[in-house]
Structure 1
Amino acid sequence: MNKVTKVLVSSCFALALLSTAAIAVAQKVSVDQVVAVVGSDAILLSEIEQEVMQMRAEGLPVNETSRCTILENMMIQKILLNQARIDSIIPNMAQVESQLEQRLAFFSNQLGSQKAVEEYFKKSIYDIKADLKESLRDQIQTQQMQSKVSEKVTITPSEVKAFYKQMPSDSLPMINQQYEILQIVKTPSAASQAKFNVKEKLLELRQRIVDGEKFSSLAILYSEDPGSARRGGELGFRSRGELVKPFADAGFNLKPGQVSQIVESEYGYHIIQLIEKKDDKVNVRHILMKVKFAPGEEMEAIRSLDSIATAIRHDSITFARAAMKYSDDKNTKVNGGLLVNSQAGSSKFEKDQLMPADYFALKELKEGEISSAFESRDETANVVYKIVSVKRILPAHKANIKDDYDVIQGIALRKLQQEFFLKWLDQKKKGMFIRIDPQFAKCDFKGEGWVK
């Protein structure tokens, strides 16, 4: 990997992990100055010192070149951010909110409670979030911009093979044991009574809100969306594209304070309250409730799957044919039940990439064997029932082109994308106003073209 690319990658990672500790110490910096200007964005000495203090807090070494490296990372980020604005790239606010929650959860775990976090930083949780939100927004926006720069880079099979032949053996990654899995999924029929019960509960909650109770209080108590429930159901500003369609349609048609009727989505049933609408985004609260299946329905799904498994074991039907005929999972039934790993873009899964229930069901199976029916979860965390079969087990091994083409392809593609990005970065440097304070102008930057 090119040194400048390493700097950029580590920078994105470090910035993504920037803690409120850095923001807290920023208030103690008494002397400040602009040390660089990139386009219309300034970089302050205090920002660099925040990063230095963060490195020390994490036990990372700090030496005479650290500040130069930090400044170069920040200048790369500013170029990306500037281009993101030009290209009207809207940051993924769902990611921003998710990272905010992860950060606060981390500090709560480290310090013992949310109250302890507030006492440590001498701010309310809402103020801490506000401090972090803007920087996280910029970070995610620059990450999206970097992805856009490289997204058109492609690689051919012949280029992948040529790259593999040139790779030193000791640079090939080790691949953990992997599984290729077939599945047949049954979703309980969600009997009308079960749906009725959920809707009745939501209607009751809606009436309580209309009668004066706080939506946020009821969301904390009753919502089955753990990510937003602890925030009183609040999602933060989202565009239409960040919300599933029925939810977006309802949310964007509300007036501030208005509560929707019951909305059904792939996640369950919701009632939604509009907090604020700004430009093409809305900030809403919601209460999510999911259908609870009666024990009889669960047993019906299990019996059905066990009968299918018996038929397959007796060669009455193939697994692929049974999946196409009986599975309720539209994503896998069309390809004979083969499960696709969306993280890796292949059909192979490592242990940690599987649902815990799925791994527990297949870990003792040999190739071709079929599990008994068991309860699992789908990608939206809804309860489903499955039988699985192990199509292939790949033992741990050093990556090779035959078994791990997708891995080699990914490494080769990333190398091309990095090379393309560096060329793009060099061009942007030439056409952008960049000024560096004399105290940093003598830095031995990894990339050329910073000092003009």
Structure 2
Amino acid sequence: MTNKIKFSLILGIFFTFLSVSLSAQLEKGKLVDGIAAVIGNEIILESDIEEQINYAAQQGTAAANKCQVMESILNNKIVVYEAKRDTLIENRTEAIKENANLKYNQILGQFPDEKTMLAAYKFRTGYEMKTAIEKIDSDQYYGQAKYQSITQKADVTPNEVTDFYNTYKLQLPEVKDEVTLAQISIYPKLTESHKEEIIGRLKKIKQDILNGESFESQARIYSEDPGSAPNGGLMKNISKGQMVKPFEAAALNLQEGEISDPIESEFGYHIIKLERRAGKMYDARHILIATTPTADEIETAKKELDVIKTSIEQGKITFKDAAFKHSDDKRTKFNAGILTDNAGSDRMERLSLSPTLGYQVAGLNKGDITDVFEDELNRRKAVSIVKIEEVIPAHQLTIETDYDRIKQLALNKKRNEMVEKWIKQRIPNIFISIDNRYADCSFQPELKKSILTK
């Protein structure tokens, strides 16, 4: 019999989850959708299955059929259901609900009004859309938490990695063109007169509030924080350590109802009103004026970074040392400026690079450094240079050149097997009902028993 990697492994991890992407999930307004299965008090909708099939096709796994996808989602939902019953997993219901409201407001900020947004996502009400976002985030959190709990002791030996490679090497995907990149980014510095102008605006807003205007209305009008401005600047249930230090220090030095003077953080200048404080949690409103640089300030930063680039090219300083000394990118400055992808790998596919970054490195070779270009870092204007540290042409995975990647695939497989074994043990103790449209699917016997008869 030919060995095959299971569908879930081809997708990269056991949990593909229902939240492939927020926009894809919201697109159909799925609250008015057909139910394919019920697991405890969790449900699977027909559109969940269709969207996973579409996602699989986009990832090059179009051969996966509806039954395979259904079984994968059933397994995910069983884990989610059990996770919500697990008292050792922190209950984050309130935090998830609050975060859903923030996401809703962020999406709303991209549309002229709520009606237009709801029409675009095919929801009847804001409540329906918020509920859908909350459901996605809840499944994501609880599923991942339980998955990690089940697989926390998983590990693979070098021999197991080699055995995995020898068994599955003909099925392992080809690696597309990759690059390893290092970056130095700096934020343009505002002139003193520009800073004073921002501080002056906030002082006037504060005085207007003290004179009778509501903080909430002023935040809606003036705040440049897209997440909280539509909600009157309100951020609820903030835990200590969650916010940047200048913000937290200012907020926690206030009495309830008191408003701070303008304070500076990495995002700009704020005035803050402490609404409520209870132990290690607090609610606060803020009005943010972002430190958006002028064209002249950006040009000054470009010249500064160009001088740094010249020093690197002349051998006066290494790129690594220059990144540590000058870069404002906290993610990379302590790691020689090396960029990593979402999985933490420093080898990134060229096709997955952002349009700006892909354009800048196009046609460059190992050791080349881009010209200084305008960029965005943490939602702020920045200027950057990028060095091509390594170029890896497209190739088939081999144990000699891709050991770490193959080890991760082998580890994923072991984790999958641990979770699948755990699921089989749990199925007899869970109410599961599957629509008889899936009666012809070759599910594992335990799931087969759950298919409704006509």
Q: Number of aligned pairs?
A: 425
Q: Secondary structure at the match of 1:307?
A: helix
**Amino acid corresponding to residue 224 of structure 2 in structure 1:** E
For 1:58 and 1:244, how far apart are their aligned partners in 2? Answer: 37
Q: Pick from 382, 386, 390: which aligns with 1:384?
A: 382
- Rate the CA distance shift 1:18–1:350 in 2: closer, same or farther, 3 A: same
Which residue does the alignment assign to 1:417?
Answer: 415
Matches within 5 A, 1:312-331: 312-329=312-329, 331=331
Which residue does the alignment assign to 1:154?
Answer: 155
- Rate the CA distance shift 1:178–1:221 in 2: closer, same or farther, 3 A: farther
Which residue does the alignment assign to 2:89?
Answer: 87
For 2:318 and 2:20, how far apart are their aligned partners in 1? Answer: 50
Matches within 5 A, 1:143-292: 143-149=143-149, 150-169=151-170, 171-235=171-235, 237-240=237-240, 242-251=242-251, 258-274=258-274, 281-292=281-292
- Rate the CA distance shift 1:344–1:8 in 2: closer, same or farther, 3 A: closer
Q: Secondary structure at the match of 2:375?
A: strand
Shift of 1:178: 1.8
For 1:315 and 1:187, how far apart are their aligned partners in 2? Answer: 24
Q: Secondary structure at the match of 1:226?
A: coil
Shift of 1:341: 0.5
Q: TM-score, normalised by structure 2?
A: 0.73
Contact 2:262/2:271, CA 8 A, preserved across alignment: yes
Shift of 1:449: 5.5
Matches within 5 A, 1:392-407: 392-407=390-405
Shift of 1:82: 0.9
Q: Pick from 79, 94, 117: which aligns with 1:114?
A: 117
Q: Secondary structure at the match of 1:227?
A: coil
Answer with 406-415 or 211-220: which moved more: 211-220
- Once the two structures are superposed, residues 42-73 of structure 1 have per-residue CA deviations (whole angstroms, 9 ceiling, x without a partner) of 45xxx56xx23766799989999999987765
- Once the two structures are superposed, residues 375-410 of structure 1 have per-residue CA deviations (whole angstroms, 9 ceiling, x without a partner) of 2222x1223322222122222333333444443233
Which residue does the alignment assign to 1:434?
Answer: 430
- The root-mean-square deviation of aligned C-alpha atoms, in Å, is 4.6
- Rate the CA distance shift 1:113–1:307 in 2: closer, same or farther, 3 A: same
**Amino acid corresponding to residue 389 of structure 2 in structure 1:** K
For 1:347 and 1:172, how far apart are their aligned partners in 2? Answer: 20
Q: Secondary structure at the match of 2:228?
A: helix
- Rate the CA distance shift 1:258–1:392 in 2: closer, same or farther, 3 A: same
Contact 1:232/1:285, CA 8 A, preserved across alignment: yes
- Once the two structures are superposed, residues 148-176 of structure 1 have per-residue CA deviations (whole angstroms, 9 ceiling, x without a partner) of 3234433445543432232232x222323
**Amino acid corresponding to residue 262 of structure 1 in structure 2:** P
Is there any run of 5+ residues in structure 1 with no aligned partner, and where? 30-34
Q: Secondary structure at the match of 2:271?
A: strand
Contact 1:4/1:447, CA 8 A, preserved across alignment: no
- Once the two structures are superposed, residues 312-349 of structure 1 have per-residue CA deviations (whole angstroms, 9 ceiling, x without a partner) of 334444434444454454554444x3423141312222
Contact 1:272/1:285, CA 8 A, preserved across alignment: yes
- Rate the CA distance shift 1:279–1:143 in 2: closer, same or farther, 3 A: farther
- Rate the CA distance shift 1:434–1:374 in 2: closer, same or farther, 3 A: closer
For 2:382 and 2:106, how far apart are their aligned partners in 1? Answer: 28
Q: TM-score, normalised by structure 1?
A: 0.73
Contact 1:371/1:388, CA 8 A, preserved across alignment: yes
Contact 2:100/2:134, CA 8 A, preserved across alignment: no
Q: How high is the sequence identity, in percent, across the aligned residues?
A: 27
Shift of 1:2: 5.0
Shift of 1:368: 1.7
For 1:242 and 1:70, how far apart are their aligned partners in 2? Answer: 33
Which residue does the alignment assign to 1:32?
Answer: none
Shift of 1:133: 5.7
- Rate the CA distance shift 1:90–1:243 in 2: closer, same or farther, 3 A: farther
**Amino acid corresponding to residue 52 of structure 1 in structure 2:** E
Q: Secondary structure at the match of 1:9?
A: coil
Answer with 338-347 or 248-257: which moved more: 248-257
- Once the two structures are superposed, residues 356-381 of structure 1 have per-residue CA deviations (whole angstroms, 9 ceiling, x without a partner) of 44333322322222222222222x12
Shift of 1:122: 4.9
Shift of 1:113: 0.7
